[in-house]
Amino acid sequence: MRIAVLDDYQRVALSYPYWATLPADVDVTTFAQHIADADELAERLADFDALVAMRERTPLPADLLARLPRLRLIVTAGMANAAIDLAAARARGITVCGTASNATATVELTWALLLAVARGVPAADAGMRAGSWQAGSPPGADLAGATLGLLGLGRLGTRVAAVGQAFGMRVVAWSANLTAEHAASHGVEAVPFDELLSSSDVVSVHLRLSDRTRGLLGARELALMKPSAYLVNTSRGPIVDESALVEALSSGRIAGAGLDVYDTEPLPADHPLLALPNTVLTPHLGYVSTNTYDLFFREIVEDIAAFHAGTPVRVLE
């Protein structure tokens, strides 16, 4: 049984000890470089029986699955993966399994980005390394007494809210199905969408990407935000209209953005976001933490072993 681990960017997958528990006839190959070209990807994966998908880094649509005749198993990190065509996999007799996930890692990165952009940490660090002391570093924003607006108050949003409250922030939230009762149970005020944007000092995105949320924040919505406000997105890039965001940041329409997710990943080297000084950018690190990876790889190996034994577990429907 030949297994390909996709997008092992940090070359750490095989450092986890769980692989050693697999039967001797299981062979594991890792791919550190992202393969975006569909023809190259199909050619590289044609001889594998199983694929391990690190979240949604590589899409696995129907047309690609049709070009992988040996493929019998896909294991994804997490129990949902919008980049895998589950219906096409089922039709081809391919089993798709998932793993548990760690909510706290993305919450912590949200606050790392929020604090870094609000206090100008990257610019201050770069200035010190260049020999300056506070020169070129404007005063940072205060969080105590400010308003944190959460788009989404689910598993992640509620945790982000609790941290905001610890900083002494007023926390408001919106989502299409959010009730005042649910928000109040977390000490949060449910407000209309436009009011959240216009009243918040920080807007943080914690929604799933869907047809309803794609492009949710466009030019009109960004124009509602305060010129002093910051946007943080650790959810999915396409929820925010990227061109509109570049324009809002370039023109000073909003003060800055902390971003972990993008329309195209990896982010192209010539992308305009990279040239903007009022951004803090990370390469989709929300779930990239020691504990999360340990959980992912332990359960990925369990899924492979169970499938190999004829008793698949954590099968996605």
CA–CA distance, 93 with 146 (Å, rounded to integer): 53
Contact 123, 143 (CB under 8 A): no
Distances (CA, A) of 21 to 13, 84, 109: 14, 27, 32
Count CA atoms within 13 Å of residue 303 on its CB side: 28
CA-wise closest residue to 174 among 143, 145, 200: 200
Among residues 55, 159, 206, 236, the one annotated as catalytic is: 236
Q: Is the peptide bond before 266 cis (omega within 30 degrees of 0)?
A: yes
Among residues 265, 271, 298, 314, the one annotated as catalytic is: 265
* DSSP element (H, E) containing 248: helix 242-251
Please indicate whether residue 43 is annotated as part of the active site.
no
CA–CA distance, 306 with 300 (Å, rounded to integer): 10
CA–CA distance, 34 with 45 (Å, rounded to integer): 13
CA-wise closest residue to 61 among 27, 99, 94, 28: 94
Which letter does DSSP use for residue 217 in this model? B
Please indicate whether residue 284 is annotated as part of the active site.
yes
CA–CA distance, 4 with 45 (Å, rounded to integer): 7
Among residues 55, 159, 206, 284, the one annotated as catalytic is: 284
Please indicate whether residue 236 is annotated as part of the active site.
yes
CA-wise closest residue to 140 among 120, 161, 154: 120
Which letter does DSSP use for residue 211 in this model? T
The 3-class secondary structure across 101-164, one letter per residue, is: CCHHHHHHHHHHHHHHHHHCHHHHHHHHHCCCCCCCCCCCCCCCCCEEEEECCCCCHHHHHHHH
Three-class SS of residue 278? Answer: coil
List, by residue number, the catalytic residues: 236, 265, 284
